[in-house]
Amino acid sequence: MTWNFSALMAEAILEGDKARLHAPPNPWVGALVVVDGEVVASGHTQAPGESHAEVEALRHARERARGATMVVTLEPCCHVGRTGPCVEAIIEAGITRVVVGVLDPDPRVAGRGVAQLRDAGIEVQVGVEIEAVRAQLAAYLWHRVTGRPYVVLKVAATLDGVVAMADGSSQWITSEEARRDAHLLRAQSQAIVVGANTVRLDDPTLTARLDDVTIEPLRVVLGHAAAEAKVRPCWERQGELGMLLDELGEHDILQVLVEGGAAVASAFLEAGLVNHVVWYVAPALAGSATGRGALAVLSTPSMTSLRRSRFTDVRRVGVDVRMDLEV
């Protein structure tokens, strides 16, 4: 019987998506238990301190796990942290084959999980749909390799790149649907960074509002926030941005969302600290002579210094367009 491991890994990725908002600082992993090509159980990472995806899938599979195949997006852990090692649970359950999307670069794992499974006589296949898994776990993988959070820059602008009008007003350039999509982006980030000028002008709360749920990431203001600012409680920081990212990484922040304004966005790009850009474009024109450009402070002296990126997704969100770029 020929199994379609790519399709199964795609299903495991979708299962992992269910953990995206509650798993950090753990990775949002998806796992399947498969018998004769059929998925008999699935699981995803629970909140920190609770079970990992593999244990959840095994719990749902019960005795059907014996002799079965497990498909999991990330290499199973082999160390004791908030929970026990997933490798031991897999071995004890009688799984005979494990299909892994990507190895875990965490130095406590880093191939050891796969090695222990093979030592126990379990067949292991690594690298199925590796690019798709890497894209899904980009923030986690980046943090484990660099110690810094994955930086997402969000911009909402007119078609000609303006983020505020001549009088300073900026609410709202994009549609309600785009703003709702941006709130999901906030919820996927454990910290949000804005400049003090944005706090003074817009007085944002920087919370993520999803239906009836409000999520409060760590708010970081570059400069000073007034005592009565809605963004409080917040961190107030000044100085070198790389040091800020080091500090956030030490606090287990996997992804940070940079929301602006123009000077802050330009500074992160100028320093080469942006991993991903989410750019919402409204079908509107403002005119750069009077409006404030999204990257008004960014300087590009010549074509050779042009910051080129790669589109990873372009789609409609309400009347607007969302463009995702990998920097």
Q: Which of left, alpha, beta for 271 (phi over 0: left; psi -120 to 50: alpha)?
A: alpha
Alpha-carbon separation of residue 92 from 45, 87, 95, 152, 319 (angstroms) = 19, 9, 8, 40, 53
User: Are 31 and 43 spatial neighbours (Cβ–Cβ below 8 Å)?
Assistant: yes
Q: Tokens 């019987």, residue?
A: 1
Q: Tokens at residue 110, please?
A: 């880093």
- List the Cα angle 146/149/154 in 5-degree steps: 135
Angle, in degrees to the nearest 10, between helices 112-119 and 86-93 = 20
Task: Please say whether the dihedral angle defined by the alpha carbons of residues 74, 79, 81 and 86, taken in this order, is positive or negative.
Answer: positive
Query: What is d(CA 142, CA 313) in angstroms, rounded to the nearest whole number?
Result: 20
Query: What is d(CA 291, CA 282) in angstroms, rounded to the nearest whole number?
Result: 14
Rg (CA), the chain: 22
Query: What is d(CA 42, CA 14) in angstroms, rounded to the nearest whole number?
Result: 11
Identify the active-site residue in 15, 38, 50, 54. Answer: 54
User: Are 13 and 73 spatial neighbours (Cβ–Cβ below 8 Å)?
Assistant: yes
Tell me the CA end-to-end span of the chain in Å, nearest whole number: 42
The answer to whether 131 is a known catalytic residue is no
Task: Please say whether the dihedral angle defined by the alpha carbons of residues 51, 54, 55 and 61, taken in this order, is positive or negative.
Answer: positive
Active site residues: 54
